[in-house]
Amino acid sequence: MIDQQTLNRVYDAIKIEDVVGDYVDLQRRGANYVGLCPFHHEKTPSFTVSATKGLYKCFGCGEGGNAVKFVQKIDNCSFAEAIKKIAKKYHIEVVEKELTEEEKREEEHRSAILRINEWAAAWFEKQLWDTQEGQAVGLTYFRSRGLRDDIIRLFHLGYAPARCNLFQEAVRQGFAPELIKQASLGTADYPFFQERVIYPWYNAAGKVIGFNGRILKKTDAAGRDLTSMKYKNSSEIEGIYEKSRALYNINNALRYIGSSNLIYLVEGQMDVISMVQAGIGNVVASSGTSSFSFYHASFLSKKTDNITIIFDGDAAGQKGTIKVAKLCYEVGMNVKTIVFPQGEDPDSLSHKMSSEEFTDFINKSSKDLILHLIDENIDEAMLEPDKLSALMNSLVEMVAYIPDALRRESYIKICSRNLEVDASVLRQQVEAKVSEYEQKKRQRRQYPNRTFTSTSRNNNPSTPTSATAQTAADNVSAPTPPTNLSSAQSRRREIEKQIAKLLLRKGEGVVFTYDNGDDCTLSDYIEQTFNDDSELTLVTPEYKQLVNLYLTERKKPNFDPDKLFAYDDLANAASELLIDHYELSKIYADDEPLADDEQTKARRQFDLLDNANHLMLDLRIAIVDELIEEQNNNIRNPQVMQDEAMMSNCFSNLSMLQKLKTEYVRARDNK
């Protein structure tokens, strides 16, 4: 683990414009720098770097954070690796501190699994190329599938021989027998992979995390059927190989996703390999269609807005497509599909066409999934009411997963026009499904790329502790905001955002002066307001944490609000609030030095306090609106409707809340 003094030296040395400038051509624009975002394809610069705050923000794809996170993301590396890269740039020696015994054991075990996987991948590859059996069986098979030798080497494909002595070789290399077993590479008596071609799986950082082995024989020596054991996978190991997180070819695909703003998802490894051979690099596969998870969708949505699903056209493939599409719709992605000619898939068709023909086919055949489902089924559905009803229900379920209300409305109108159904009927069904899904979506949305936890710090407010920093190692993306919030919840979220934004930007501004001459800053005022009213709280995780961290850190020596989030794992969320998309002219900018006359100072203090009061009253109104919304939902509950006492209580509460809201609105509007 990198020691705290090294972290301090690196953080003190960092100039974010220099670090980012090694990868992006930055141009000065006022106090900030702008350039083309390296994380998605764009022609007009929307990527902004703030040198004063140590943060970057792309207003096109939403990526943001600090210099360390930038290096993590663009180089697909861990936190420690990013620190070492930056340290090397500034000629800083990296010193690593001792781990606890438990930390050592965990890290050593993880590293050992990755080491033996790397060794095994090389061993399997050597068997393929350098042994007579490997060449005769494995290499012949891959070539018979139309793969070029350079592609076989690119994916490090391998072979496990009939008399597989991998275990014995691994022991001779110094690997412990128990470790070999845990890595699913066999035991002294049982070679896990045997007479199989081997496909290594890599994570985004290019580390071998597991293997898939395909047997080539249909029967064994005794004539027993082997087709049920056609494929074997490494056992799942938490934090290393998990089917719900692994994607085949993600290590190569990442470099192509940004420029194309698109990812192709296919069913199998050979589909991936054949598409890459045909010149399409932005393609991945999950470990079976059933393994594609919300994590996968969330991870890919951070890289691109667009996904094209290419699964088999049979019933299982169509079912898998719809399942994956719902997850992708849920995270805001645009979903398309491609229908291949009867009996063809990406692997087979790519070998019947030139690379140019295949790429042209892929580009021209891609079609919006919902429109495709309508076109494919409408003729038959319009002849049979049952099939029309089934089609409409399927489309309603899919549209309901789309978080953007305008996109939902667009699809409702398209479905209405094509299926000759009243749009209001479809709209009612969709919104009913949206409500039904809401609770399930919130429970499943676990912010896979970062967990909001309290940030512990040492006495230096500009740098995180080693524990905090190392915990953030893989936190390369900010969380996706919850979707399908009610109108009251959405308003509250926006108000909380504005409160956090005001505090982060103007927290040390003076709002008034006490009789004893002491100044009351905006942060003092906001903290006291929250302390005085326990019901006045922030509930949006990222804004709550930003506010709490600011209010805690401002009490420490050498507090620098500009640099507070430059080295914190909340940098992405902070960048959204601290960096403006468009920079104001100095004539209008509110960060310019104030005039020294007392009248001007008093006016600015009054405006700041008035703004804070206004937002706090807005927050009170939003909280009451949520309670009103809750009471209205209770009133519509069939169980409540049948109970006169419960109905009376609901109406009484509703009346009280409406009066309270009126008081808050009057107080706000009279400010």
Across residues 43-47, what is the average pLDDT?
84
Full domain range(s) for residue 420: 366-448
- 179 pLDDT exceeds 90? yes
pLDDT of 176: 93
The verdict on residue 315 lying in a domain is yes
The verdict on residue 235 lying in a domain is no
The reported pTM is 0.57
Report CA-CA distances (Å) from 299 to 288, 295, 436, 449, 636: 17, 6, 25, 8, 38
Say how far apart CA 553 and CA 231 lie, in whole Å: 54
The verdict on residue 660 lying in a domain is no
By percentage, how much of the chain surpasses pLDDT 70? 85
Q: Say if residue 487 is in the same domain as residue 576.
A: yes
Q: Band of the pLDDT at 568, cuts 50, 70, 90?
A: low
- 101 pLDDT exceeds 80? no
Q: Band of the pLDDT at 93, cuts 50, 70, 90?
A: confident
pLDDT of 334: 93
Q: Say if residue 598 is in the same domain as residue 512.
A: yes
Q: How many CB atoms lie within 10 A of CB 186?
A: 22
pLDDT of 590: 46
Determine which helix (DSSP H) or strand (DSSP E) holds 626, and give its type and residue range.
helix 598-635
Residue with the bigger pLDDT between 642 and 663: it is: 663
| DSSP-assigned letters across all residues of 244-262 | TT--BTHHHHHHHHHHHT-
Residue with the bigger pLDDT between 517 and 14: it is: 14
pLDDT of 111: 87
Of the candidates 422, 448, 474, which is a domain's last residue? 448
Residue with the bigger pLDDT between 467 and 316: it is: 316
Q: Say if residue 473 is in the same domain as residue 332.
A: no
Q: Say if residue 596 is in the same domain as residue 492.
A: yes
φ/ψ of 345, rounded to 5, equals -140, 175
Residue with the bigger pLDDT between 448 and 392: it is: 392
Structure tokens at 655: 């009346």
| DSSP-assigned letters across all residues of 348-406 | HHHTTS-HHHHHHHHHHH-EEHHHHHHHHHHHHHTT-HHHHHHHHHHHHHHHHT---HH
Task: Write the DSSP symbol of residue 510.
Answer: E
Q: Which residue has the tokens 């609105």?
A: 665
Q: Which residue has the tokens 């580390």?
A: 207
The verdict on residue 347 lying in a domain is yes
The verdict on residue 669 lying in a domain is no
Across residues 89-107, what is the average pLDDT?
76
CATH code of 145's domain: 3.90.980.10
Q: Could you tell me if 225 and 277 are in contact, meaning their C-beta atoms sit under 8 angstroms apart?
A: no
Q: Say if residue 487 is in the same domain as residue 385.
A: no
Q: Which of these ranges, 245-254, 454-463, 472-481, has the smallest mean pLDDT?
A: 454-463
The beta strand positions in 163-249, using DSSP E, are 196-202, 208-215, 231-233
pLDDT of 144: 95
The verdict on residue 457 lying in a domain is no
The verdict on residue 237 lying in a domain is no
pLDDT of 327: 92
pLDDT of 303: 79
CATH code of 12's domain: 3.90.580.10
> What is the per-residue pLDDT across 2-42, written as a single tens digit (0 to 9) for each?
777 788 778 777 888 888 988 888 888 877 899 888 887 77
Q: Say if residue 67 is in the same domain as residue 134.
A: no
Q: Could you tell me if 193 and 163 are in contact, meaning their C-beta atoms sit under 8 angstroms apart?
A: no
Residue partners of 434: CB distance under 8 A and separation at least 6:
400, 408, 484
- 458 pLDDT exceeds 60? no
Pairing verdict, β 510-513 and 55-58: unpaired
- 589 pLDDT exceeds 70? no
Of the candidates 448, 482, 509, which is a domain's last residue? 448
> What is the per-residue pLDDT across 331-384, written as a single tens digit (0 to 9) for each?
889 999 998 888 888 999 999 999 999 999 999 999 999 999 999 888 888 888
- 265 pLDDT exceeds 50? yes
Q: Say if residue 327 is in the same domain as residue 201.
A: no
Residue with the bigger pLDDT between 586 and 261: it is: 261
Say how far apart CA 364 and CA 349 lie, in whole Å: 15
Q: Say if residue 62 is in the same domain as residue 109.
A: no
- 107 pLDDT exceeds 90? no
> What is the per-residue pLDDT across 116-149, written as a single tens digit (0 to 9) for each?
999 999 999 999 999 999 999 999 999 999 999 9
Residue partners of 275: CB distance under 8 A and separation at least 6:
264, 266, 283, 346, 350, 362
Split into its structural domains, the chain has a count of: 5
Q: How many CB atoms lie within 10 A of CB 187?
A: 12
Burial 140-179 (b: 16+ CB within 10 A, else e): ebbeeebbeeebbeebbbbbbbeebebbeebeeeebeeeb
Say how far apart CA 343 and CA 322 lie, in whole Å: 20
| DSSP-assigned letters across all residues of 570-596 | THHHHHHHHS-SSPPPTTT-TTSPPPS
pLDDT of 473: 33
Residue 276 class from Cβ within 10 Å (0-12 exposed, 13-18 middle, 19+ buried)? buried
Q: Could you tell me if 630 and 587 are in contact, meaning their C-beta atoms sit under 8 angstroms apart?
A: no
The mean pLDDT value of the chain amounts to 82
Say how far apart CA 648 and CA 465 lie, in whole Å: 55
- 468 pLDDT exceeds 50? no
pLDDT of 276: 95
Q: Say if residue 435 is in the same domain as residue 578.
A: no
Q: Band of the pLDDT at 601, cuts 50, 70, 90?
A: low
Which among 270, 199, 209, 202 has a CA at the least distance from the CA of 232?
199
Across residues 160-189, what is the average pLDDT?
92
Structure tokens at 419: 């299926």
Q: Could you tell me if 554 and 508 are in contact, meaning their C-beta atoms sit under 8 angstroms apart?
A: yes
CATH code of 351's domain: 3.40.1360.10
Q: Band of the pLDDT at 671, cuts 50, 70, 90?
A: low
Q: Say if residue 349 is in the same domain as residue 381.
A: no
Residue partners of 418: CB distance under 8 A and separation at least 6:
374, 378
Residue with the bigger pLDDT between 209 and 226: it is: 209
Q: Say if residue 408 is in the same domain as residue 353.
A: no
The verdict on residue 330 lying in a domain is yes
Q: Say if residue 476 is in the same domain as residue 603.
A: yes
Of the candidates 61, 89, 117, which is a domain's last residue? 89
Alpha helix stretches (DSSP H) within 519-569: 522-532, 541-553
